[in-house]
Amino acid sequence: MILVTGGAGFIGANFVLDWVTHSREALINLDILSYAGNLESLAPLGENEQHIFVRGDIGDLALVSELLQRYQPRAIINFAAESHVDRSIHAPEAFIQTNIVGAFRLLEAARSYWHSLDSHGKRGFRFLHISTDEVYGSLLKGDPPFTETHRYQPSSPYSASKASSDHLVRAYHHTFGLPVLTTNCSNNYGPYQFPEKLIPLIIVNALAGKPLPVYGDGQQIRDWLYVGDHCSAITRALEAGRPGETYNIGGWNEKPNIDIVYSVCDLLDKLRPLPGGSSYRSLITFVTDRPGHDRRYAMDASKIERELGWRPAETFETGICKTVQWYLDNSDWVGNVQSGAYLTWLEKNYQGRA
């Protein structure tokens, strides 16, 4: 079996659902269930005995060590992270605790467990760390995309904390021999994404007739990766990735944020038209930009294609259609995650930006 951390969050939950669908191997899912961790995202599993859920913190060394000794997993996949840049600007300490201290303690537990294995178990064990393109910093318009050897230049508390965890993971391989893998992904989108991120926020606000906030001029460029493609890349890296290596995972879809908003509005115009025939584009509102907002990210994902044979299956056009339709079909899930705490956060983040 394998141990997944953060498996009730956006990417983690999608991975867990995909894993149980396509594999017979059991999975332990450790998640603290913070604001973005949601057991409703795992509801399609029902009472499936292949999925073992444990509520807990990756920073709880005793708990993680006990789980490793009890279940003897052949791999750990670490999704657990604080991941929203805006939240890291308002309250960075949680990012330091989870993304750095938590990752360190998880590595310590993994190292001790790995040393306890026999030679066969040691050879087969993997620690796969999920990271982000944001650790590389920002690109100018004509710059080539990020490769795995690009210099780290994080520019937000979030990306700095993830960069720190990446360095720790590599250090544990170099110093202790722990068989690690690191994947750095571009902007994910798809089902079960908490509506603080751009695409679900635009969908939710549009359906509620609220303004669609766009930072600055909306020309910040990102590489967009459908979450199902990300999950398949992680599975492939776990299968065939070389210990100590890093693999960039991207969608080959560079687009400005404003174009993303236009695409969502246009799809909603077709699928859930406004009364009177007006467009959802009329709700777009440009607001004061995020402090230190990186201008462009772009991923060169040729290494994972060349070495592991992986390439995304979805184009942005197919992926965004699936995403918008999912949010239209799952209004109960959307409504249940929009708690009072979520509404308070929106007010705090966007207050005074108009």
pLDDT in tens, 279-305: 999 999 999 988 888 899 999 999 999
Q: Is the pLDDT of residue 349 over 80?
A: no
CA–CA distance, 279 with 288 (Å, rounded to integer): 23
pLDDT, tens digit, 9 for 90 and up, residues 297-343: 999 999 999 999 999 999 999 999 999 999 999 999 998 887 755 44
Both structure tokens of 35: 């604001």
Secondary structure (H, E, C), the chain: CEEEECCCCHHHHHHHHHHHHHCCCCEEEEECCCCCCCHHHHHHHCCCCCEEEEECCCCCHHHHHHHHHHHCCCEEEECCCCCCHHHHHHCCHHHHHHHHHHHHHHHHHHHHHHHHCCHHHHHHCEEEEEEEHHHHCCCCCCCCCECCCCCCCCCCHHHHHHHHHHHHHHHHHHHHCCCEEEEEECEEECCCCCCCCHHHHHHHHHHCCCCEEEECCCCCEEEEEEHHHHHHHHHHHHHHCCCCCEEEECCCCEEEHHHHHHHHHHHHHHHCCCHHHCCHHHHEEEECCCCCCCCECCECCHHHHHHHCCCCCCCHHHHHHHHHHHHHHCHHHHHHHCCHHHHHHHHHHHCCCC
pLDDT, tens digit, 9 for 90 and up, residues 52-61: 999 999 999 9
The pLDDT score that the predictor gives to residue 344 is 59
Are the C-beta atoms of residues 47 and 20 closer than 8 Å to each other? Answer: no
Q: Is the pLDDT of residue 1 over 80?
A: yes
Using pLDDT thresholds of 50, 70 and 90, give the confidence band for residue 350. very low
C-alpha dihedral sign at 37, 333, 252, 16? positive
CA 246 to the chain's CA centroid? 17
Q: What average pLDDT does this structure show over 159-188?
A: 98
Contacts of 128 (CB under 8 A, 6+ apart): 75, 76, 77, 78, 180, 181, 182, 183, 234, 237, 238, 241
Where on the phi/psi map is residue 33: left (φ > 0), alpha (ψ -120 to 50), or beta? left
Helix pair 103-116, 157-176: axis angle to 10 deg: 20
Q: Confirm or reject CATH 3.90.226.10 for domain 2-192+224-252+296-313, answering yes or no.
A: no
The pLDDT score that the predictor gives to residue 89 is 87
Are the C-beta atoms of residues 316 and 251 closer than 8 Å to each other? Answer: yes
The pLDDT score that the predictor gives to residue 2 is 98
Q: Is the pLDDT of residue 36 over 90?
A: no
Q: What average pLDDT does this structure show over 63-68?
A: 98
Q: What average pLDDT does this structure show over 166-182?
A: 98
CA–CA distance, 201 with 283 (Å, rounded to integer): 13
Both structure tokens of 296: 């462009």
**278: nearest Cα among 288, 269, 287, 290:** 269
Residue position matching structure tokens 């795992």:
42
Q: Which residues are catalytic?
A: 133-134, 158
In the chain, the amino acid numbered 240 is: A
For the entire predicted model, the pTM comes to 0.93
The pLDDT score that the predictor gives to residue 342 is 44
Instruction: Enumerate the β-bridge partners of residue 255.
Output: 222
Using pLDDT thresholds of 50, 70 and 90, give the confidence band for residue 346. very low
Are the C-beta atoms of residues 120 and 278 closer than 8 Å to each other? Answer: no
The pLDDT score that the predictor gives to residue 268 is 98
Give percent above pLDDT 70 in the chain: 95
Both structure tokens of 98: 């989870």
Give percent above pLDDT 90 in the chain: 85
The pLDDT score that the predictor gives to residue 99 is 95
**135: nearest Cα among 199, 185, 175:** 185
Angle, vertex CA 204, rays to CA 201 and CA 210, nearest 5: 95
pLDDT, tens digit, 9 for 90 and up, residues 179-231: 999 999 999 999 999 988 999 999 999 999 999 999 999 999 999 999 999 99
